[in-house]
Amino acid sequence: MWLIPAVIVVLVLLLVHAGSRGPAARTLTYSDFVHDVTANDISSAVITSTGLVTGKLHSGTAYTSQLPTALGDTTLSSLLLEHHVQVTGTNPSTTSILSIVVDLLPLLLIVGAVVWFVRRSRKQSPGGIGGIMSIGRSKAKVYDEERPTTRFTDIAGYEGSKAEVMEVVDFLKHPQRYARAGAIGPKGVLMVGPPGTGKTLLARAVAGEAGVPFFALSGSSFVEMFVGVGASRVRGLFVDARKRSPSIIFIDEIDAIGGRRGPGGFGSNDEREQTLNQLLSDMDGFEPGASVVVMAATNRAEILDTALLRPGRFDRTVEIPLPNLSERAAILSIHGRGKEFGPTVDIGAIARGTPGFSGADLANLVNEAAINAVRGHHHILRGADFDAARDRLLIGRRDASNALLPEETHNVAVHEAGHALVAALSEHADPVAKVTILPRGATLGVTEQLPEVERHLYPQSYLTDSLAVRLGGRAAEILVLGEPSTGASNDLAGATDLATRMVREWGFSSELGPIGYGPEGPSRDNPFAGRPYAEETQRSIDQEVARLLRQAESRATTLLQGHRHLLDRVVDLLVERETIDGSDLMALVSLPEPRASAPEDSAGARRSVAPAGRLG
């Protein structure tokens, strides 16, 4: 903080130095100087060896002049003595100390500013790490004596993943047990999974469980605009880790620096490529006995460089998928700690109603339920709060200003009733959980389906039923209103995408046969690939997709025509209540009037691949 006072002192010295010079001196030519001497106007004269003359007139005014030394005038001295001028000789090299200091002040200020910035950067980052003098140093945060409080007991589910990671921690804690069996510990562990599944949380648990130093940083911490800085940081990180061996290095989002080199990768980005090369070199260059394990996390494993994934670098790949039903229930229980649940809250039912949710999504769900409870002026979380939170996350916020016209309300009710009734009448469709015609976000109505069991494989009958359910709203509009509307646009897009994958990827076409062409566009194996089949094949695919969609719409229309009285009852109930539960729908379907079984077609039966998805 001494820089500002120093600047003030410098300004004062400059003012004092300028003021010490007094008023501006009068400049006389040599002729004027001789004339004033002859006129007895000169009082004193100080003459240097270079002919510079300074002095004062009898009036007290200062003057300066310059003698023409080249003329060799020898009469000036006698003229000065004749007119009683006090003459003094001096050396022109004599300079005051104050003048020297003032001349050097700008340089001193620059040096002082540099010293101040360096000291300030060291205070902000102990040990000299950071600041302009340490741009190439590692930015890793070190957990040594003080480690995160997260433990494996704080992570629900993922028992297999935790066992693999915990084995790494055990190797670092007890290397002699593995050495006796001749086992060599892994050098690298790569955690792969969708966003929000808890990869970073698992790494924090490792840091909490491990009795060794833990270096944590993000992949983007290596990337700088200066070429070579990232590589320097990698070297520094591994040097620090080896000094504290045994230790763990955790790199989050490693795809920021570990992407493929060359075509389809970083291309000519020298900085990232040099950083990756340095990382590869350091992971291979551990000294014997240096127990350093590199852990990394990514949700884009398909773009990582193959040299990074080979054994000897990342020996293990730990898959962290989306949680299953039991894991979701356990995760909800963990995030419910410290919150009071009402008797209507069923954790198992909430877990069943959240398929496809990640751990982060479930944490957000519990938080939204708590916010909804506060909005309702109570602190105990109820089942209705979780229902409102799930609707908010899946289909958006309820917008009261987005009111529908009476005619539009009836049309939306017809559309959603078509979806719901086709799902209820289809043999392989998941049960309907709720139907609503209350506008939320960009949707005017929603039909939600929840699976009875978690599926890992989807049979053809399941998928063809899904096509019929998705087109049930459009079929109901044509049947009741006489014409379709724009409300079926999302249904058509989803049904077309599903039918395309059924034909092109899963071989569900008798015309094309058991051939999987894979998705269009670049892939991991061929980053420059376009469409992997001919134009004639594309024409056949389009024809098969159109056939599946026409069959699905015909199937939905047949179901609705055979149960027109049920369709009208569901529409009336939706217009009356705006929202009905699946139990209300099934009560209507089970009324007298036998349930017609859907005719089987060559493709099988019906249901959507997206449980609890938005249909309508």
Chain segment 340-365, per-residue pLDDT in tens: 898 888 888 888 888 888 888 898 99
Q: Cα–Cα distances in Å, from 118 out to 114, 123, 137, 194?
A: 6, 9, 15, 42
Question: Using one digit for the tens of pLDDT, what is the confidence trace for 69-78?
Answer: 777 777 777 8
- The share of the chain scoring above pLDDT 70, in percent, equals 77
Give tens-digit pLDDT for 165-210: 888 778 877 778 888 888 777 788 888 988 888 888 888 888 777 7
Whole-number Å distance between alpha carbons of 266 and 559: 54
Give CA separation, 59 vs 152, 158, 518, in Å: 96, 101, 106
Closest among 367, 365, 337, 368 to 349, alpha carbons compared: 365
| Neighbour count for residue 447 (Cβ, 10 Å) | 30
Select, from the ranges 90-94, 111-115, 509-513, the one with the highest average predicted confidence (pLDDT).
509-513
Rg, the chain, Cα only: 42
Spell out the domain ranges in the chain.
Answer: 14-94, 98-128, 141-319, 327-395, 406-589
Structure tokens at 413: 């009710």
Query: What tokens appear for 73 in the block?
Result: 């005038």
Is the fold of 141-319 the same as that of 406-589?
A: no
Better-predicted residue by pLDDT, 295 or 71: 295
- Copy the structure tokens of residue 129: 């790490």
What sign for the dihedral angle of Cα 413, 419, 423, 426? positive
What does DSSP say about strands 62-66 and 52-56: parallel, antiparallel, or unpaired? antiparallel
Please give the pLDDT value at position 604: 33
- 101 or 55, which is more confident: 55
- Which one, of 480, 483, 488, 479, lies nearest residue 445 by Cα? 488
Which class for 458: exposed (0-12), middle (13-18), buried (19 or more C-beta within 10 A)? middle
pLDDT at 244: 81
What is the per-residue pLDDT across 516-566, written as a single tens digit (0 to 9) for each? 887 665 554 554 456 777 888 889 999 999 999 999 999 999 999 999 999
| 3-state SS, residue 559 | helix
Q: Mean pLDDT, to the nearest integer, of 477-483?
A: 92
Q: How confident is the model at residue 476 (pLDDT cuts 50, 70, 90)?
A: very high
Q: Name the residues annotated as catalytic.
A: 416
Distant-in-sequence, close-in-space partners of 335: CB < 8 Å, separation ≥ 6: 362, 363, 366, 367
Nearest residue to 142 via CA among 154, 131, 157, 127: 127
Distance CA 382, CA 370 (A): 9
pLDDT grade for 130, boundaries at 50, 70 and 90: very low
Amino acid 493: pLDDT = 93
Distance of CA 318 to the CA centre of its chain: 22
For residue 264, pLDDT over 70 is answered with no
Quick: pLDDT tens for 491-526.
Answer: 999 999 999 999 998 989 888 888 888 766 555 455
- Confidence (pLDDT) at 137: 52
Decide which of 1.10.8.60, 2.60.40.10, 3.40.50.10860, 1.10.3720.10 is the CATH code for 327-395.
Answer: 1.10.8.60
**Fold exhibited by the domain 406-589:** Methane Monooxygenase Hydroxylase; Chain G, domain 1 (1.20.58)
Q: Note if the bond before 527 is cis, omega within 30 degrees.
A: no
Please state the rounded mean pLDDT for residues 19-25: 57
Strand (E) positions, 49-90?
A: 52-56, 62-66, 86-90
Instruction: Look at 136-140, 160-164, 420-424, 427-431 and tell me which has the smallest mean pLDDT.
Output: 136-140
Provide the percentage of residues in the chain whose pLDDT is more than 90: 15
Question: Tell me, what's the pLDDT at 3?
Answer: 55
Q: What is the DSSP string of 153-180?
A: GGS-S-HHHHHHHHHHHHHHH-HHHHHH
Q: Which CATH class is domain 141-319?
A: alpha beta
- Calculate mean pLDDT across residues 144-161: 72
Q: Which of 218-227, 420-429, 606-615 has the lowest mean pLDDT?
A: 606-615
* pLDDT of the residue at 106: 73
pLDDT at 421 > cutoff 90: yes
pLDDT at 113 (0 to 100): 74
Distances, alpha carbon 563 to alpha carbons 559, 568, 570, 586, in Å: 6, 9, 11, 14
360-389 average pLDDT score: 89
**Cα dihedral 217/223/224/227 (nearest 10):** 130
pLDDT given at position 526: 52
Q: Which of 198, 153, 220 is nearest to 319 (CA)?
A: 198
CA dihedral 596, 597, 599, 604 (to 10 degrees): 150
Class of domain 14-94: alpha beta
In residues, how long is the chain? 616
What average pLDDT is seen over the chain? 78
Lowest mean pLDDT among 140-149, 314-323, 476-485: 140-149
